[in-house]
């Protein structure tokens, strides 16, 4: 199952994602947050003992895939990527990779 939460900064996307994850996994220890926001998920550590995997720039697609694969290999049942937008528009993200390709933007 893939669930996307969208909204401006501050309305509770991370908090909601953690509660959804608990409903799916039923154990905090089986939940991991792939955190691209400088450990912001730890603001919710009072909820339970979920895992945090920090990821720093550059936010390449390969780095995202490696993080997900690692979480799966560690037996995590629910993976939260907070925030996926860094892999799209952040340093090293898809938009930056696309801009660096030879040729015109339409064919790339």
Q: Which two structure tokens, joined as six digits, stand for 105?
A: 């933007």
Is the pLDDT assigned to residue 28 strictly greater than 90? yes
Is residue 4 assigned to a domain? no
Q: Does the pLDDT value for residue 19 go beyond 70?
A: yes
Q: Give pLDDT, residue 32.
A: 98
Is 8 within a domain?
no
Tell me, yes or no, whether 105 lies in a domain.
no
With respect to residue 77, please indicate whether it lies within any of the assigned structural domains: yes
> Is residue 10, in this structure, part of any structural domain at all?
no
Measured in degrees and rounded to the nearest 5, phi and psi for residue 52 equal -130, 130
State the greatest distance between any 2 C-alpha atoms of the chain, in Å, as a whole number: 50
For 55-61, what is the mean pLDDT? 92
Instruction: Output the CA–CA distances (angstroms, integers) from residue 14 to 8, 38, 102, 106, 107, in the order listed.
Output: 12, 13, 37, 35, 36
On the question of pLDDT at 108 being above 70, the answer is no
Residue 23 in domain: no
Task: Say if CB 76 and CB 30 are below 8 A apart.
Answer: yes
Mean predicted confidence (pLDDT) in 38-48: 93
Question: Does residue 74 sit in helix, strand or coil?
Answer: coil
Q: Could you read off the pLDDT of 89-106 as tens digits, one per residue?
A: 778 777 778 788 787 767
Give the model's pLDDT for residue 12.
93
Alpha carbon of 90 to those of 12, 62, 77: distances in Å?
21, 14, 27
């Amino acid at each position: 199952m893939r669930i996307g939460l969208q909204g401006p900064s501050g309305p509770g996307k991370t908090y909601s994602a953690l509660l959804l994850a608990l409903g799916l996994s039923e154990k905090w220890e089986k939940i991991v947050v792939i955190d691209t926001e400088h450990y912001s998920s730890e603001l919710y550590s009072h909820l339970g003992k979920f895992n945090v995997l920090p990821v720093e720039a550059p936010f390449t697609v390969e780095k995202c895939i490696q993080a997900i694969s690692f979480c799966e290999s560690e037996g995590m049942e629910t993976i939260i990527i907070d925030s996926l937008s860094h892999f799209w528009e952040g340093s090293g993200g898809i938009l930056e990779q696309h801009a660096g390709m030879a040729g015109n933007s339409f064919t790339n």
